[in-house]
Amino acid sequence: MGAFKRKYYKFKQEACNCQAGTNLHIYIVFFNMQSIVKMFQKCLEFVDQVPDRETKDILLNSVRTNTEGKVYVEVERARATRTLAAFKEADGSYKEAFELLQEVAIETFSSMDRKEKYDFIYIDGNHDYGAV
């Protein structure tokens, strides 16, 4: 059983037994944060399914705007930033791509798995934006 399901069953048990007391708010916050993370992950999955580029840009910018300053969705923000930077680079807007990638905090990389962290750093370091 996953961590989320264990927390859910514990919450359900405590709520049913009326033993939750002051701990009930902790579960509400936990479920709210989990829901938000899942929602942004789903939004990023939809980017590939959107047919036109303008809608993709709107979706990615919306994800970036709404995840700004929220530590629990920093990886999702970094993924949206990386995708948007790739679009900018494909359009020839190298300076904008560089500036987007520079916005990602270095602390975010510790939350990523090893492969994704390597890919992100490789993409960022493999381009010569100095000529821009």
pLDDT in tens, the chain (132 residues): 566 666 666 655 655 554 445 566 666 677 778 888 888 898 889 888 888 889 899 999 999 998 888 888 898 999 999 899 999 989 999 899 888 888 887 777 777 888 877 777 776 555 554 444
As a whole number of angstroms, the distance between CA 75 and CA 67 comes to 9
Note the pTM of the prediction, 2 decimals.
0.69
DSSP state of 132: -
pLDDT at 36: 87
Q: Residue 109: which of 100, 99, 96, 119 has the closest Cα? A: 119
**Residue burial 90-119, b: 16+ Cβ < 10 Å; e: rest:** eeeebebbbebbeebeeebbeebeeeebee
The residue written with tokens 């993370």 in the block is: 37
pLDDT at 60: 93
